[in-house]
A and B are shown apart, each in its own frame.
Chain A
């Protein structure tokens, strides 16, 4: 009979989901870069585009932070705040934050470690 350690199962699942989240967040960063490219080309930031970029930054912040890419999460948080309605937006500042997000995502995530014990699942009530 093979004993399954819940800690191993969680660690394996976490590693797989971290990889998947990295792909999602890399895609979000690319979409932000594309939006800024459009804004530079047209010389305007449409309100809906700004809100869309803010939503992307918000998602990136939550996901990157949850999966250990804290530098990227902090830059995404700054970007989200920068894109609040009514605030003047400097595209260079936006581009710098997106670059920082990219750098943060290129770093290895800070590992989350299973700290529970193998019997905790039987105790939860």
Chain B
């Protein structure tokens, strides 16, 4: 074992680029599904989803996605609290996060925050913006 994180080992297989794994977190079922559909079918990402902050942290620990799209306003554990939990855990602290938000006040820029995407957004062009913010080549 070389200690290389599993997700990096999965970035290429036989030098063939593999789709990025993205964790999509939003409590609105309709927005979550249309965003998942667009990112999978239009942009070719692999998507896992969570409808709340606690589930998001659990999914991030289990699957170690390449990036996370995180809705800021959710009932219970909101986006900011979720971000703090992700940053506090060494297993998830390095994962880049894009915040989906209608409000930018109170948002603290941290090294893992790759950008902010204002809501509402156009789900059909979201993938291009995600790739740009994450620094992923297309």
Contacts and interface: CB of A to CB of B under 8 A. Distances in A.
B31 A66 contact: yes
A124 B138 contact: yes
A104 to B, nearest CB: 13
Given A20-B30, A112-B122, A58 B43 contact: no
A109 B115 CA distance: 28
A17 B30 contact: yes
A125 B136 contact: yes
Contacts of B138: 120, 123-125
Contacts of A77: 102
Interface in A68-120: 73, 77, 112-116, 120
Given A63-B28, A125-B136, A10 B38 contact: yes
Nearest to B22: A124
A97 to B, nearest CB: 16
B37 A10 contact: yes
A10 B29 CA distance: 17
B123 A112 contact: yes
| Chain B interface size, under 10 / 10 to 19 / 20 to 34 / 35 or more | 20 to 34
Interface in A1-35: 6-7, 9-10, 13-14, 17-18, 20-21, 24
A120 B44 contact: yes
A124 B44 contact: yes
Nearest to B131: A124
Interface string B31-43: 1011001101111
Nearest to A20: B30
Interface in B113-131: 119-125, 127, 131
Given A66-B120, A73-B120, A114-B124, A125 B31 contact: no
Contacts of A47: none
A48 interface: no
A120 B102 CA distance: 29
A41 interface: no
Interface in B10-68: 11, 17-20, 28-31, 33-34, 37-38, 40-45
22 contacts: A6-B41, A13-B37, A17-B33, A21-B30, A21-B31, A61-B120, A64-B120, A65-B120, A66-B34, A77-B102, A112-B124, A114-B42, A114-B124, A116-B124, A120-B43, A120-B138, A123-B44, A124-B19, A124-B20, A124-B44, A124-B136, A125-B17
Interface of B: 11, 17-20, 28-31, 33-34, 37-38, 40-45, 73, 75, 102, 119-125, 127, 131, 136-138
